[in-house]
């Protein structure tokens, strides 16, 4: 029986993929790699910014392109571009941080619940459901209000309300996998609980968790910007996208660029996040 | 009987002279040199490669083939339901239209007026959120007609079933609803794609009988697509055998069965199990696997697996030629030569089983084992009684088959022996030292997708060096007929037959005292099933294992097992030597199972009803509600039918007060 | 059905109590002392002790919690540090404006979501343009949508008003507090039209993101069910594609769209709080925005409790609707 044949056939198939297919894949890879590009740009924000975001660098309220300010200057003459770049940097890292924490906490809880089953699963999922039954952003506002407004507190608050989402997804995947005969076969082969969880269950939940996480970055950027807009973030001089729009709303009708540009910064970040997320999904779950 | 809505008039236009005697000869559908190519992940998949076929008025044409033969694609082509992106050449004529190339609205019209369809899985094929009455009325035209049709297809109390949702009906009733929709409006042709595959054995026979009686009543033609030659031969007037997108053989059922002329048909007939298969030798398995439809060979697609293949087979696919009037075969070797030369090959291939030395000790002993599951939650909790007291022993080196329909508890019993499920009462003893191993129905799902075969098999080998482990894995693979390179492959890269072999390699890399098999062949093609059965038998003898084999098919049980235990609703109703059970079944249920095995040239005998729900097993003898021999005493709630010796033989026991009294 | 209803009502109560517990605990761990928040930092020790006693803070924590829940059930959410009025009184004043905005947004989101899903599933003309537009719409922060709308439709085109709920002085004080509904009840179509004009921009701004999310889920559900076995059966019967979509597929897909709608309501609440700032909408968002800088915890926890319970109630309604749509969900 020629077993090696299908393996070889498989290799053949990958090399002989049609051009369109190849192009789609390349587009997805390019989109997914935007995550890296944005992260790099965020790291380099101090280099990319023309001016210090906190110090006046020229005349106040100059329009975009005037006085050497690409995106104009704000009411005390600070460079809007620099402020937006620094704000994007903060937003991006904040979003990544919350997602990483959510994946970690939610992943562990989902894995434990899904792999153990029984009452452990019941208790953990009841707690998760209780969190999910509440509107996350509103709960975050209450947490920050109690702890006092600061970026760190906002991130802690959002992380607290964000992980249950991941716990649900990971747990669901693990439950589905646990019902497959391959787990029972591993049990009969003598694999212990830990080995089954780590080797026979967890790898199967990784793709779904990754896809969810990457599609979630855009959402998180938007949510954090909204909270920042409400004043739940860094205090006044710091550059923060939502807060910069909120504080400068009164300039909207005359000097529109001051409140609008930070909003566009959020849009760009969320848009890139969504495109990259789509790319990751297409790579991991090609339809 | 005519349609209540318009298109009846058009029907007579497209089918001139439907009632004249000439019309009997006219075909309702004719397929001319049909080629269908799909594009999947950038590759061209040749599903049909030049098929010509007529379906005559009023006939049942059985279309037989293994997976990938293109039989379902042919059915969809007739219905005009091929994917719009498929490349279709040739013609599919139904009611004067070319279903492959005419516009959508014309296709819709033909489907609505002239065609009916029955698909494999009635659960997913019915809309889950629409009452069945409305679904039937959608084609029948009116509620009254729908209700009449539900009655006509044998649904008891159709008026009340009109308001049922599909999930509230049993599998057999759902398929009857599908059939009611298919016959609504008196179509010319019903395309039935594996209509019985998803159903229980005893229900299959009912559905086949129903299809044929409807044909007799309405006079429509039926295209019965199936993987089972026996099932087709049993009800069809003519049989068409397909292989790799082409017609291999076509002829009247009797003719094809008695004088099969194509080597593939002969191979199918040989590897097919029936109640008459020889138990004393290995089965004649077809070597190799179904060809890859993405890379079709220029010559005869069957040549690589054919014992008679010569250089002439490799140039061009042979066209179907008439071997006798009305009997076509697509083989370059003359029909007479095919049969005589193959008979010789077969004689050489048969290997008799060695005699088994009897062992006296038991590997598995079950005593009054009970198991129930909780179903639902809160106030709606009910208990599903999966096992209601089972006694069974499996001797060392012995092979025992558990046979039964869905809900019989056969799989639960197997899982309890494996230790994957706990039990509520009774005793279970399994001889050590290591735990039993199991092969599953879905071999692909039983292999961890992201691990290599080597890692999966190696999981059973602890505490030895890497090199030793690799050597043992290679040895186990060799045992199941796979080369050592397979160790590096992952499950997705293997074919169905290879996966089942890998799971057998995992189970036997360290020989267990007992191998548990959960329908390991039911998802495989006929030709592969035979080789897996041979393999299990060979491993058992070689390694001295016992085997507990779960199957719904008595003909499989008969060849794999020394003893057979027939189960119904959580109890063993008859147990004995395989020969005894299949030659002189005593319990009415065993008898019914025997007659439900589709076999050529034998009328299907249908048992009424469907297996009762294990949520509420009938009182007394659980089978009495379906039993043709039941008397009043059988339903007595106080009756406790026990397994009793038949003819004072300690080996053959049956639980029936009518049979053993 | 009644069993499911009872179970769901029980769940609402349980989750509300859990939320109250979380808020109570947050108050406890908060570094901001409620007594100092009331009396200021300069208050004497005896005054602080008296205030603690008056507020019941010297009693066991569990008793305090029970009192808190009991009070919340009776509508007593404590007093705001800032306004010095009971939070419930404040909320009552702000709630109708927010409710009107949120409900309009929800309505727009659902209608828009269904339209977008159908347009892309049935490949209506120009629907291919929709994909990038949808992606962009889903990436735009609510406040940017709001201010862009003001710049375009108010500042530039002068089509729509930019602030408040109504520009008329004699708005009828109706039974519901929702201006549109009250205006219709009083037969004042001028007031109704004016209120609608004020609603359009903020409601659309909060609805766009959720609409895209609903459309995506509904679309993928429609597309996958179009390929299902039962759709094939319907096709074999000779039904046309639009008939299959509407008669067979839609009902099977409602569930997915509904549960997404329920989820989006939570995000929409956050959007409401934000957009009220942009449009000077006299609702709960204003109240929250004024409370955050002064750390007025009773006010914020009152809002959280109110919105949390509202969210749970809406999601319960969604669950019940799903059970109505799908007979397989056991009631």
pLDDT of A5-53, one tens digit each? 333 333 333 334 445 667 778 888 888 888 999 899 888 888 888 888 8
Q: Do A264 and C293 touch (CB under 8 A)?
A: no
Return phi, psi of residue A171, to 5°.
-60, -45
Alpha-carbon distance B55 to B223, whole Å? Answer: 8
C100 and C28 fall within a common domain: no
Report the gap between the CA of B34 and the closest CA in chain C (Å).
Answer: 20
B111 and B158 fall within a common domain: yes
User: Which partners does chain A have (≥3 C-beta pairs < 8 Å)?
Assistant: B, C
* B135 close to B127: Cβ distance less than 8 angstroms: yes
C43 and C180 fall within a common domain: no
Of the partner residues A137, A147, A149, the one whose CB lies closest to the CB of residue C266: A137
E strands, C208-301, are none
A42 and A24 fall within a common domain: no
B99 and B238 fall within a common domain: yes
Question: Long-range contact list for C312-317, CB < 8 A, 24+ apart?
Answer: C312/A133, C312/A134, C312/C11, C312/C12, C312/C15, C312/C16, C313/C12, C314/C262, C314/C265, C315/A133, C315/C262, C315/C265, C316/C8, C316/C9, C316/C11, C316/C12
Alpha-carbon distance B409 to B263, whole Å? Answer: 40
C227 and C270 fall within a common domain: yes
Alpha-carbon distance B401 to B273, whole Å? Answer: 15
Alpha-carbon distance B580 to B562, whole Å? Answer: 10
Q: Is C285 within a domain?
A: yes
Q: Do B165 and C328 touch (CB under 8 A)?
A: yes
Q: What is the largest CA-CA distance in chain C?
A: 86
Q: Is C274 within a domain?
A: yes
Whole-number pLDDT of residue B10:
38
A6 and A146 fall within a common domain: no
Q: Single out the residue in B472, B490, B510 at which a domain terminates.
A: B510
* B12 close to B18: Cβ distance less than 8 angstroms: yes
Share of chain B above pLDDT 90, in %: 48
Q: Single out the residue in B258, B273, B294 at which a domain terminates.
A: B258
pLDDT tens, A73-92?
888 888 989 999 999 999 99
Owning domain of residue C52:
2-73
C128 and C223 fall within a common domain: yes
Q: Is B19 within a domain?
A: yes
B475 and B516 fall within a common domain: no
- Mean pLDDT lowest among A156-165, B371-380, B394-403, C221-230: B371-380
Residue window 485-504, chain B: list those with CB within 8 Å of chain A.
Answer: 485-486, 488-489, 493-495, 498, 503
Pairing between strand B546-551 and B399-403? parallel
- Give the residue among B425, B408, B409 at the shortest CA–CA distance from B366: B425
pLDDT tens, B25-60?
578 999 999 999 988 777 788 899 999 999 999 999
E strands, chain C, are none
Residue B332 pLDDT more than 60? yes
- Mean pLDDT lowest among A163-167, B338-342, B391-395, B494-498: B338-342
Backbone CA torsion sign across A49, A50, A52, A56:
negative
Q: Do C297 and A145 touch (CB under 8 A)?
A: yes
Beta-carbon contacts of residue A140 (< 8 Å; ≥ 6 apart): A154, A157, A158, A160, A161, A227, A232
Residue B97 pLDDT more than 50? yes
A53 and A19 fall within a common domain: no
- Give the residue among B334, B283, B298 at the shortest CA–CA distance from B46: B298
Q: Is C242 within a domain?
A: yes
Angle of helix B263-271 versus helix B335-349 axis, rounded to 10: 40
DSSP assignment, residue C79? B
The tally of domains found in chain B comes to 4
Q: Quick one: closest CA in B to C243, which residue?
A: B138
Please list every residue in chain B whose beta carbon sits closer than 8 Å to the beta carbon of residue A186. Answer: 448, 459
Please list every residue in chain B whose beta carbon sits closer than 8 Å to the beta carbon of residue C230. Answer: 124-128
- CATH number of the domain at C102, please: 1.10.3720.10
Alpha-carbon distance A150 to C185, whole Å? Answer: 46
Of the partner residues A1, A189, A204, the one whose CB lies closest to the CB of residue B459: A189
Q: Do B448 and A10 touch (CB under 8 A)?
A: no
A25 and A71 fall within a common domain: no
The tally of domains found in chain A comes to 2
Whole-number pLDDT of residue B336:
82
Pairing between strand B221-226 and B60-64? parallel
Whole-number pLDDT of residue B250:
95
- Place B21 in a pLDDT band, splitting at 50, 70 and 90: very low
Please list every residue in chain B whose beta carbon sits closer than 8 Å to the beta carbon of residue A3. Answer: 482-483, 485-486, 489, 494, 498
Q: Is B356 within a domain?
A: no
Q: Is B1 within a domain?
A: no
- Mean pLDDT lowest among A93-102, B494-503, B580-589, B641-650: B641-650
C201 and C279 fall within a common domain: yes
B430 and B467 fall within a common domain: no
DSSP of B253-281: HHHHHHS--SHHHHHHHHHS--TTS-SSB
Please list every residue in chain B whose beta carbon sits closer than 8 Å to the beta carbon of residue C11. Answer: none
The number of C-beta contacts closer than 8 angstroms across B and C is 72
Q: Is B233 within a domain?
A: yes
A59 and A118 fall within a common domain: yes
Mean pLDDT score, A59-68: 81
C190 and C310 fall within a common domain: yes
Owning domain of residue B211:
6-258
Terminal Cα-to-Cα distance of chain B (whole angstroms)? 51
C210 and C315 fall within a common domain: yes
Angle of helix B263-271 versus helix B526-543 axis, rounded to 10: 50
Q: Is B149 within a domain?
A: yes
C166 and C291 fall within a common domain: yes
A229 and A94 fall within a common domain: yes
- Give the residue among B31, B26, B90 at the shortest CA–CA distance from B247: B31
B483 and B468 fall within a common domain: yes
Number of neighbours of residue C44 by Cβ within 10 angstroms: 9
The tally of domains found in chain C comes to 2
Q: Is C284 within a domain?
A: yes
- Give the residue among B562, B615, B571, B618 at the shortest CA–CA distance from B590: B571
**What is the pLDDT of chain B when averaged over all its residues?**
86
How buried is A19 (Cβ within 10 angstroms: 0-12 exposed, 13-18 middle, 19+ buried)? exposed
A149 and A8 fall within a common domain: no
Q: B47 in helix, strand or coil?
A: strand
Pairing between strand B514-518 and B546-551? parallel
B453 and B598 fall within a common domain: no
Alpha-carbon distance A218 to A266, whole Å? Answer: 9
- Place B439 in a pLDDT band, splitting at 50, 70 and 90: very high
Q: Digits of tens for pLDDT over chain C (331 positions)?
A: 577 788 888 888 888 888 888 888 888 887 777 777 777 667 778 888 887 787 777 788 888 888 888 888 888 888 888 888 999 999 999 999 999 999 999 999 999 999 989 888 877 766 677 778 888 888 999 999 999 999 999 988 989 988 888 888 777 777 888 888 888 888 888 889 999 999 999 999 999 999 999 998 999 899 999 999 999 999 999 999 889 998 999 999 998 899 889 888 888 888 999 999 999 999 999 998 888 888 788 898 899 999 988 888 888 888 888 888 888 776 4
Q: Is B546 within a domain?
A: yes
Number of neighbours of residue B315 by Cβ within 10 angstroms: 11
ipTM over cut 0.90: no
Whole-number pLDDT of residue A7:
35
| Distance (Å) of CA B214 to CA A115, B179, C320 | 51, 9, 43
Residue A1 pLDDT more than 50? no
Q: Is C84 within a domain?
A: no
- CATH number of the domain at B104, please: 3.40.50.300
Radius of gyration of chain A (CA): 24
* B560 close to B548: Cβ distance less than 8 angstroms: no
Whole-number pLDDT of residue C249:
93
How buried is C125 (Cβ within 10 angstroms: 0-12 exposed, 13-18 middle, 19+ buried)? exposed
Residue B22 pLDDT more than 60? no
Whole-number pLDDT of residue B563:
93
Whole-number pLDDT of residue B639:
78
A98 and A240 fall within a common domain: yes
B634 and B516 fall within a common domain: yes
* B118 close to B195: Cβ distance less than 8 angstroms: yes
* B53 close to B30: Cβ distance less than 8 angstroms: yes
How buried is A70 (Cβ within 10 angstroms: 0-12 exposed, 13-18 middle, 19+ buried)? middle
Q: Is C163 within a domain?
A: yes
A16 and A87 fall within a common domain: no
Residue of A34, A125, A134 to mutate when probing chain C, most C C-beta within 10 A: A134
- Give the residue among B530, B505, B493, B392 at the shortest CA–CA distance from B439: B505
Q: Is B197 within a domain?
A: yes
B541 and B399 fall within a common domain: yes
B189 and B295 fall within a common domain: no
User: Which residue do the tokens 């004020």 mark?
Assistant: C198
C150 and C207 fall within a common domain: yes
Alpha-carbon distance B397 to B354, whole Å? Answer: 13
User: Which residue do the tokens 């008939």 mark?
Assistant: C243
C190 and C281 fall within a common domain: yes
C31 and C126 fall within a common domain: no
Report the gap between the CA of B114 and the closest CA in chain C (Å).
Answer: 10
Return phi, psi of residue B625, to 5°.
-65, -20
E strands, B431-485, are 437-439
Q: Which two structure tokens, joined as six digits, stand for A74?
A: 């704000």
A234 and A277 fall within a common domain: yes
The number of C-beta contacts closer than 8 angstroms across A and C is 160
Q: Is B354 within a domain?
A: no
B447 and B573 fall within a common domain: no
Owning domain of residue A94:
33-284
Residue B4 pLDDT more than 80? no
B635 and B495 fall within a common domain: no
Could you tell me if A254 lies within 8 Å of chain C, comparing CB atoms? no
- Give the residue among B512, B367, B366 at the shortest CA–CA distance from B439: B512
Of the partner residues B42, B294, B440, the one whose CB lies closest to the CB of residue A181: B440
- Mean pLDDT lowest among B142-156, B398-412, C31-45, C80-94: C31-45
Whole-number pLDDT of residue B660:
58
Residue of C230, C235, C257 to mutate when probing chain B, most B C-beta within 10 A: C230
Whole-number pLDDT of residue B601:
62
pLDDT tens, A95-154?
999 999 999 999 999 999 999 988 899 899 888 888 887 788 888 888 888 887 788 888
A15 and A105 fall within a common domain: no
Report the gap between the CA of C2 and the closest CA in chain A (Å).
Answer: 22
Please list every residue in chain C whose beta carbon sits closer than 8 Å to the beta carbon of residue A230. Answer: 273-274, 277, 288-289, 292
C28 and C103 fall within a common domain: no
B336 and B396 fall within a common domain: no
A7 and A94 fall within a common domain: no
Residue window 166-205, chain C: list those with CB within 8 Å of chain A.
Answer: none
């Amino acid at each position: 029986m020629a077993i090696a044949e299908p393996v070889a056939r498989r290799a053949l198939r990958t090399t002989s993929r049609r051009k369109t297919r190849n192009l789609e894949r390349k587009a997805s890879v390019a989109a997914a790699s935007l995550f890296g590009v944005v992260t790099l740009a965020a790291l380099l924000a101090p280099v990319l910014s023309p001016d210090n975001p906190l110090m006046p660098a020229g005349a106040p309220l100059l329009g975009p392109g005037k006085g050497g300010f690409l995106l104009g200057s704000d009411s005390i003459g600070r460079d809007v571009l620099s402020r937006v770049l620094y704000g994007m940097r903060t937003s991006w890292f904040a979003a990544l941080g919350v997602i990483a924490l959510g994946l970690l906490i939610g992943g562990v809880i989902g894995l434990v619940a899904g792999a153990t089953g029984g009452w452990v699963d019941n208790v953990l999922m009841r707690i998760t459901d209780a969190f999910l039954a509440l509107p996350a952003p509103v709960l975050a506002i209450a947490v920050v209000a109690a702890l006092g407004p600061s970026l760190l507190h906002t991130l802690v608050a959002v992380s607290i309300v964000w992980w249950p989402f991941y716990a649900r997804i990971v747990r669901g995947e693990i439950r589905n996998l646990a019902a497959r005969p391959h787990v029972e076969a591993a049990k009969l082969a003598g694999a212990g609980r830990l080995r089954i969880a780590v080797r026979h269950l967890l790898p199967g939940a990784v793709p779904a968790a990754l896809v969810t996480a990457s599609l979630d970055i855009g959402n998180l950027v938007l949510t954090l910007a909204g909270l920042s807009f409400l004043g739940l973030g860094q205090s006044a001089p710091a550059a923060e996208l939502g807060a910069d729009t909120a504080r400068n709303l009164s300039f909207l009708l005359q000097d529109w660029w001051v409140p609008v540009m930070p909003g566009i910064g959020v849009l760009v970040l969320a848009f890139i996040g969504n495109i990259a997320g789509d790319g990751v999904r297409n790579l991991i779950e090609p339809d | 009987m005519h349609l209540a809505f318009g298109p009846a008039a058009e029907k007579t236009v497209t089918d001139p002279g439907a009632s004249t005697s000439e019309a009997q000869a006219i075909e309702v559908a004719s397929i001319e040199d049909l080629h269908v190519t799909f594009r999947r992940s950038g590759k061209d998949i040749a599903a049909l490669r030049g098929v010509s076929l007529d379906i005559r008025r009023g006939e049942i044409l059985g279309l037989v083939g293994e997976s990938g033969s293109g039989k379902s694609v042919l059915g969809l082509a007739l219905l005009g339901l091929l994917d719009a992106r498929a490349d279709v050449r040739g013609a599919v004529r139904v009611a004067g239209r070319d279903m492959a190339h005419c516009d959508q609205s014309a296709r819709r019209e033909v489907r609505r007026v002239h065609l009916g369809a029955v698909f494999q899985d009635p659960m997913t094929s019915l809309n889950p959120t629409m009452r069945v009455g409305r679904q039937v009325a959608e084609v029948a035209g009116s509620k009254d007609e729908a209700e009449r049709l539900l009655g006509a297809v044998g649904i008891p109390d159709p008026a009340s079933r009109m308001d049922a949702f599909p999930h509230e009906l049993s599998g057999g009733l759902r398929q009857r609803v599908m059939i009611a929709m298919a016959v609504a409006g008196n179509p010319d042709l019903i395309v039935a794609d594996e209509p019985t595959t998803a159903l229980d054995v005893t229900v299959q026979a009912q559905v086949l009988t129903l299809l044929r009686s409807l044909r007799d009543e309405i006079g429509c033609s039926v295209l019965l697509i199936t993987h089972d030659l026996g099932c087709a031969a049993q009800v069809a007037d003519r049989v068409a055998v397909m292989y790799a997108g082409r017609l291999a053989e076509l002829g009247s059922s009797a003719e094809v069965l008695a004088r099969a002329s194509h080597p593939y048909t002969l191979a199918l007939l040989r590897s097919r199990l029936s109640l008459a298969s020889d138990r004393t030798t290995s089965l004649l398995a077809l070597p190799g696997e179904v060809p890859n439809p993405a890379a079709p060979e220029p010559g005869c697609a069957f040549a690589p697996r054919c014992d008679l293949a010569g250089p002439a087979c490799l140039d061009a696919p042979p066209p179907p030629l008439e071997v006798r009037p009305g009997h076509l075969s697509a083989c370059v070797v003359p029909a007479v030569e095919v049969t005589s030369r193959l008979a010789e090959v077969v004689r050489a291939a048969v290997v008799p089983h060695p005699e088994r030395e009897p062992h006296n000790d038991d590997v598995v002993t079950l005593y009054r084992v009970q198991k129930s599951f909780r179903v639902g939650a809160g106030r709606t909790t009910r208990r599903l009684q999966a096992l209601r007291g089972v006694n069974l022993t499996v001797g060392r080196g012995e092979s025992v088959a558990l046979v039964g329909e869905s809900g019989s508890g056969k799989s639960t019993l197997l899982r309890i022996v494996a230790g994957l499920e706990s039990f509520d009462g009774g005793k279970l003893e399994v001889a050590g030292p290591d735990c039993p191993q199991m092969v599953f129905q879905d071999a692909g799902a039983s292999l961890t997708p992201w691990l290599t075969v080597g890692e999966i098999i190696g999981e059973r080998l602890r505490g030895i060096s890497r090199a030793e482990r690799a050597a043992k894995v290679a040895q186990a693979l060799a045992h199941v007929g796979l080369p050592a390179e397979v160790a590096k492959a992952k499950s997705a890269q293997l074919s169905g037959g290879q996966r089942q072999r890998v799971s057998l390699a995992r189970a036997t890399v360290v020989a267990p005292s007992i191998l548990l098999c959960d329908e390991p062949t039911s998802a495989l093609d006929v030709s592969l099933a035979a080789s897996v059965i041979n393999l299990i038998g060979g491993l058992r003898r070689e390694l001295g294992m016992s085997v507990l084999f779960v199957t719904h098919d008595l003909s499989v049980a008969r060849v794999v097992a020394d003893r057979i235990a027939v189960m119904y609703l959580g109890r063993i109703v008859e147990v004995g030597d395989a020969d005894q059970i299949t030659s002189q079944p005593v319990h009415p249920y065993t008898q019914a199972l025997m007659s439900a095995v589709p076999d050529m040239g034998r009328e299907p005998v249908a048992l009424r009803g469907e297996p009762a729900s294990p949520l509420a097993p009938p009182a007394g003898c659980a089978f009495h509600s379906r039993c043709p021999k039941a008397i009043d005493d059988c339903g007595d709630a106080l009756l406790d039918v026990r397994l009793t010796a038949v003819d004072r033989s300690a080996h053959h026991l049956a639980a029936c007060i009518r049979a053993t009294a | 059905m009644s069993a499911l209803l009872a179970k769901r009502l029980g769940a609402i109560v349980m989750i509300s109590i859990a939320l109250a517990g979380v808020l109570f605990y947050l108050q406890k761990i908060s570094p901001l002392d409620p007594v100092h928040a009331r009396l200021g930092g300069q208050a004497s020790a005896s005054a602080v002790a008296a205030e603690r006693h008056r507020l019941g803070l010297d009693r066991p924590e569990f008793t305090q919690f029970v009192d808190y829940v009991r009070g919340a059930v009776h509508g007593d959410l404590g007093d705001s540090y800032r306004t010095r009025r009971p939070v419930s009184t404040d909320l009552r004043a702000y709630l109708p404006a927010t409710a009107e905005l949120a409900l309009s947004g929800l309505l727009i989101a659902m209608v828009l979501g269904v339209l977008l899903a159908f347009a892309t599933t049935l490949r209506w003309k120009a629907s291919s343009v929709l994909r990038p537009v949808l992606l962009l719409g889903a990436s735009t922060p609510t406040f940017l949508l709001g201010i862009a709308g003001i710049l375009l439709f108010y500042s530039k085109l002068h089509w729509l008003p930019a602030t408040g709920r109504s520009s008329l002085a004699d708005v009828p004080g109706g039974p519901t507090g929702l201006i549109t509904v009250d205006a219709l009840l009083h037969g004042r179509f001028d007031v109704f039209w004016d209120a609608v004009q004020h609603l359009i921009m903020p409601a659309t701004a909060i609805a766009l993101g959720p609409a895209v999310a609903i459309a995506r889920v509904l679309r993928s559900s429609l597309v996958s069910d179009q390929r299902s076995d039962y759709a094939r059966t319907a096709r074999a019967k000779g039904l046309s594609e639009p008939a299959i979509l509407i008669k067979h597929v839609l009902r099977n897909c409602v569930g997915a769209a509904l549960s997404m709608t329920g989820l989006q309501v939570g995000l929409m609440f956050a959007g409401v709080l934000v957009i009220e700032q942009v449009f000077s909408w006299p609702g709960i968002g204003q109240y929250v925005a004024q409370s955050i800088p002064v750390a007025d915890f009773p006010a914020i926890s009152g809002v959280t409790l109110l919105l949390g319970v509202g969210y749970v109630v809406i999601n319960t309604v969604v669950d019940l609707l799903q059970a109505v749509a799908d007979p397989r969900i056991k009631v």
